[in-house]
A and B are shown apart, each in its own frame.
Chain A
Amino acid sequence: MEFSEHIKTANVEDVILTQPFHPPVKGTLCVTGHHLLFSGRDGDSSAQLLLLLRNIDAIEKSVENLVGCSGLGSRSSGQSERSTGSSGTITIKCKDLHILQLDVPGMEECLNIASSIEALSSLETVTEMYPFFYRPSFLSLQGQWGLSPAEQDFAQIKALSDRWRLSEVNRDYFVCPSYPPAVIVPRSIDDETLAKSAKFRQGGRFPVLCYYHRENGKVIMRSSQPLPGANRKRCKEDELLLQAVIDGSELGYIIDTRSAQLAQQARMTGGGFESKSNYTSWKRLHRNLERGKVLQESLIKLTEACSDQSHNMDRWLSKLENSKWLSHVNSVLATAGLLAECVEREGCSVLVHGSDGTDTTLLLTTLAQLILDPQCRTLRGFLALLEREWVQAGHPFQQRCAHSAHSHARLKQESPIFLLLLDCVWQLERQFPLALEFGEPLLLQLAQDAYASDFGTFLCNSDKERCALGVKEKTHCLFQFLCRPSERDRFINPLYQPTELAIWPSVQPPSLQLWQGLFFRWTQSGQYLQEAREEIRNLVMQCCRRGCGQSAVQLEADSSIPSSGVVDC
């Protein structure tokens, strides 16, 4: 298919672009296969806009035929030279929550542009998306795609424990279509057992290891729900697999991200939970985390409240509360804290799942690793974590991020799970400003790329799909790009001070804040604050460069100091 079919009008002159906190600019608008380009007359760079069409969530158009009106106008005011015909307005609402307005002279042009945007922004064919066309001169397609292959991750664990192995039972994606080809499982469990366990798990997502805690050798496993169904079926292999995770007499925890009641109900549709009688060494904890539509609606409410530009901003806090976004953040962080607590303080291995094991499950496993594992708190470590726990573990990005808060389209599988993860990470960063090597700019970049990107990383729903379409050969990898020295500098937290300590977030409501950097990104002029942050950054960077390249050395000493000794109340 040719993109040009969709482009009836490629260029329009004298378009006026209006964005919040910028004066309106007149210039030329141009539609290409993947972008909307706007170039202001003055040639001033602030009046340039390059927008991925994929980033557009919804457009609203209104046209008016000025011929009739202008007659009236010219009679009353005598200004006839301006009324040369018709015009239209297109309001573009982006997935990154940016809203902008284009005033296009000429009704036809306006309608043409609008229909091009509508068609091109909703292309469903993955291989027609921009990442397959993005070929910057400074990147090569020959490089490694992704940050750390499973073999590398496994090598680390192998050095510490001989109880685990790397299984390729899923090499052809037959056993579990949403898993990567290689997964880490207990050494004593053979591939056949795995395949049988997979049959007993929703979508074939049998329990696999996602985190090994060095300090005590305990692990975090993840899976999807088991399938005992209404008849309380059981699966010996699945039980065996879980038994092999823990050493004989030990106790393990299962954190189910559904309420006990929902887990019960799931039995009616073939799903269910690990019963006490069949999984005797495992104790289930139910923590209901919202997902799917509920989260999507929460995001919509929140964005509505945030973009309310009326001067009467009464009851802002109530509106914020009603969106429930922060209470979702709260329960996710609290449950991730519980998970980390089980591993670190109780010294138990934990299995996490909900129903599919592709959404809330990943939220918990990711955040628990950030809390516990200092390696995940570096820039590279964090991106590698996202790669393992989200991209390879099969979070269906394409479905979840097809639309964001503004879309009028009927929502299908959309849900801002990944955005919620980034928000939780932001809260961690805010509470521990020294503990993460990266900062808000990286999280904002990821929030944007998850919805629309030059890179192929967040395309498709699983590794299998990506392989089938050649994503790894034909697109560039975002994570590799972000780790390049030139980009790294932008995302580094200059105050970073690694600590070996677990970073336990406070989940009391006053400790959680709205992520203004994301939700007010386009609707407020945070200019001064931005400048101030930049200034601080420069100050610190300067100081780091001149004073101490040796941060690593001094940090070792610091990490032995506990963050608090005496309870002072």
Chain B
Amino acid sequence: MASASIPAYSSNALENSSTKNASRESLKMEPLSDMPLLPGEERVIDKDIIYICPFSGAVKGKVVITNYRLYFRSVEAEPVVTFDVPLGTISRVEKMGGASSRGENSYGLDITCKDMRNLRFALKQEGHSRRDIFDILFRHAFPLSHGLQLFAFLSQEKFEENGWNVYNPMQEFRRQGLPNDSWRITFLNENYELCDTYPALLAVPFKASDEDLRKVATFRSRGRIPVLSWIHPEKQAVITRCSQPLVGMSGKRNRDDERYLDLIREANGGTSKLTIFDARPNVNAVANKATGGGYEGEDYQNAELVFLDIHNIHVMRESLKKLKDIVYPHVEEAHWLSSLESTHWLEHVKLVLAGAIQVADKVSSGQSVLVHCSDGWDRTAQLTSLSMLMLDSFYRTLHGFQVLLQKEWLGFGHKFGSRIGHGDKNHADADRSPIFLQFIDCVWQMTKQFPTAFEFNDRLLLTVLDHLYSCRFGTFLYNCESARDANEVKTKTVSLWSLVNSDRSSYINPFYTMESSRVLYPVASMRHLELWVGYYIRWNPRIRHQSPVEQRYRELLALKDQYLKKLEELQLSGSAPRLSNSTAPSPASPTQRVTHMHTPF
């Protein structure tokens, strides 16, 4: 009787185990000749290597490195061990041991990945056998540090859909009912001159002139002025976003900025006080004054300031690092829950979600809000996009979610290039931080709490995260729209959404039920948050991952369709079936059904 990858409950207690060792010499084929290559992908080196699997020990095999990926397949092990790691996922390559190191498999390579795993390979000690593979890996994993191109620019992939058409800013503004009497669309930033990290099109208060905007830009960090992200279709309350004001130690004030915020408030008649959500902890906001930043003081008379206590990119990076320590390669079993607690990862997730709930709640009660942190491209993006996800069911569709990412993350200049470090060898760069991952985690938590509210499934979230690192698509490359324009990303690379939208059914949640008006408030309490085991611990074969419930449902749906079709055929052919007996299939039909069962999926 076959069974799934089995957790060993106590293999050492059982004496006569592991005696079956099927050698399958007859099956030796040209190794790795069948390895799939993407159009534009080229093999660079093949090598015999030993993979030191943290779960099952040393595995002999072959590794192939292309300009896109590292592919390994075992040669003797049963079952076959394979893995496929896009080079973009690699954050660090190190040599392990030296030519004179003692001990088996002590000479080789240590590879640290950005997606919660490490890989360790051992090679023969003679003849500097790792030199070529190390150099090649180093060059191709970090192409930008070596004057090479990212794979996205080399890829020749073609898809039915063109993902670059997913988001049209003007169309999205129109969907929201903009422009209207109170808000206008300005082309002032068309050439990224007002703010080089903002998108070309901006929605601003109708009453604010272009001149006003320029003046405000001088008082906001990096010119990131308050602009509209979302407007409530009935109440006209808005979510606006920006960077911190440049108050500084001396407590400067800027009348233009104050007036501008008042214009935002006035644009919605129902807002008596504009709520400013400063994502940072109070002390951090104060500390920012020392470097010229700060927060809106009492000079802003018609505003109230709320701090959301979300920590900065460095805290999040350290937290994730701690999380990795307790899940990879081995799960910290003895004190799992308290270890998990001490990483604070879930607590940070909770704070981000709780902040977004406050934003959504304010807006749905008809009050306009302004959200910022320091630069307005990390925590701010998390808060605006999550609150928009809560408020607007459009963003919960597969298409809408893509629009949301394009708009709030890519458009408003979340520094994907720096936060992820695409193609860059500097693994210790202090600019790297898992802010976007944390956001996707928050989305995942919401999909868990509202299993029927999202049109997309877990697989979409995993795919997005995988290609956040892979560099196969242009979507997440560079820090902002202007840089993507300058590098002609849209014409020279393929969008991730081309892949997704050419295979929509794989990313659809079959339980999705459209409900347009509902505001989703997830419960942001530690008791209701779960560690996303399917992402953070997905490399551990001893963790059982969610069986494919959705798959099963899809099968049932397909079966229903087949049944209905069959019924139609029968009716057409005149031999009317007796409906009430349909539960007992004719002897011929089951085999048919069975053979068709799995093909569509």
Contact = CB atoms under 8 A, between A and B. Distances in A.
A528 B336 CA distance: 29
Interface residues of A, number: 69
A351 to B, nearest CB: 15
A439 to B, nearest CB: 12
B552 A434 contact: yes
B485 interface: no
A535 B556 contact: no
Contacts of B597: 554, 557-558
B340 interface: yes
Interface stretch (A64-72, A162-170, A316-324, A455-463): A316-324
B585 interface: yes
A511 B539 contact: no
Given A334-B9, A337-B7, A566-B81, A508 B560 contact: no
Most B C-beta atoms less than 10 A away, residue of A513, A532, A543, A567: A567
26 contacts: A313-B526, A317-B340, A318-B341, A335-B9, A346-B17, A500-B1, A501-B2, A504-B3, A505-B7, A510-B531, A511-B544, A513-B530, A528-B450, A532-B453, A539-B511, A543-B560, A547-B556, A547-B560, A548-B560, A550-B584, A550-B593, A554-B593, A554-B594, A565-B79, A567-B79, A569-B83
A535 B9 contact: no
Most B C-beta atoms less than 10 A away, residue of A315, A334, A495, A501: A495
Contact of B541 (A313, A528, A546, A567): A567
Given A509-B333, A549-B583, A431 B56 contact: no
Interface in A141-164: none
Contacts, number: 203
A215 interface: yes
A432 B3 CA distance: 13
A535 B452 contact: yes
Given A567-B56, A567-B81, A433 B7 contact: no
Interface in B457-506: none
A543 B563 CA distance: 11
Contacts of B9: 334-335, 337-338, 341, 507
B80 A566 contact: yes
Contacts of B450: 528-529, 532
Contacts of A536: 451-452, 511
B82 interface: yes
Contacts of B564: 546-547
Interface string A417-461: 000000000000001111000000000000000000000000000
Which 4 residue pairs of A and B lie closest in terms of their CB atoms, listed nearest first?
A547-B560, A549-B583, A509-B336, A506-B544
A549 B1 CA distance: 28
A507 B17 contact: no
A53 interface: no
Contacts of B563: 546-548
A553 B542 CA distance: 31
B365 interface: no
Interface in B1-48: 1-7, 9-10, 13-14, 16-17
A341 B531 contact: no
Interface in A529-564: 529, 532-533, 535-536, 539-540, 543-544, 546-550, 553-554, 557-558, 562-564
A553 B81 contact: no
A11 interface: no
B428 interface: no
Contact of B543 (A321, A346, A510): A510
A215 B1 CA distance: 8
Nearest to A338: B9
B594 A557 contact: yes
Given A508-B542, A511-B543, A511-B544, 12 more contacts: A338-B13, A434-B552, A502-B1, A503-B4, A508-B331, A524-B527, A535-B511, A536-B452, A539-B510, A543-B560, A547-B562, A567-B5
Nearest to A548: B559
A356 interface: no
Given A510-B533, A567-B541, A568-B82, A285 B336 contact: no
A484 interface: no
A567 B6 CA distance: 11
Given A532-B450, A569-B53, A495 B553 contact: yes
Interface string B516-528: 0000000101111
B119 to A, nearest CB: 9
B336 A510 contact: yes
Contacts of A108: none
Q: How large is the interface on B (under 10, 10 to 19, 20 to 34, 35 or more residues)?
A: 35 or more
A338 B13 CA distance: 9
B3 A563 contact: yes
B549 interface: yes
B79 A317 contact: no
Nearest to B452: A532
B7 A508 contact: yes
B590 interface: yes
B582 interface: yes
Nearest to A507: B7
A510 B593 contact: no
A505 B79 contact: no
A83 B10 CA distance: 68
Contacts of B5: 563-564, 567
A533 B451 contact: yes
A82 interface: no
Given A431-B544, A510-B537, A562 B336 contact: no
A532 B333 contact: no
Contacts of A558: 597
A566 B510 CA distance: 27
Contact of B341 (A317, A338, A533): A317
Nearest to B595: A557
B312 interface: no
Nearest to B510: A539
B171 interface: no
Nearest to B51: A569
B364 interface: no
A532 B451 contact: yes
B93 interface: no
A508 B9 CA distance: 10
B513 interface: yes
B349 to A, nearest CB: 13
B358 to A, nearest CB: 15
Most A C-beta atoms less than 10 A away, residue of B3, B511, B552, B584: B3
A342 interface: yes
Given A317-B341, A568-B82, A562 B4 contact: yes
Given A318-B337, A532-B452, A511 B556 contact: no
Interface string B316-344: 00000000000100010101111011000
B212 interface: no
B589 to A, nearest CB: 8
Contacts of A529: 449-451
Given A495-B549, A505-B544, A508-B543, A321 B16 contact: no
B148 interface: no
Contacts of A520: 527
Contact of B6 (A335, A504, A554, A566): A504
A539 B513 CA distance: 10
Interface in A319-353: 320-321, 326, 334-335, 337-338, 341-342, 344-346
B557 interface: yes
Nearest to B330: A508
A553 B4 contact: no
Given A337-B7, A509-B336, A536-B452, A569 B541 contact: yes
A375 interface: no
B80 A346 contact: no
A458 B593 CA distance: 44
A563 B3 CA distance: 7
Contacts of B513: 535, 539
A434 B560 CA distance: 18
Contacts of A318: 337-338, 341
A9 interface: no
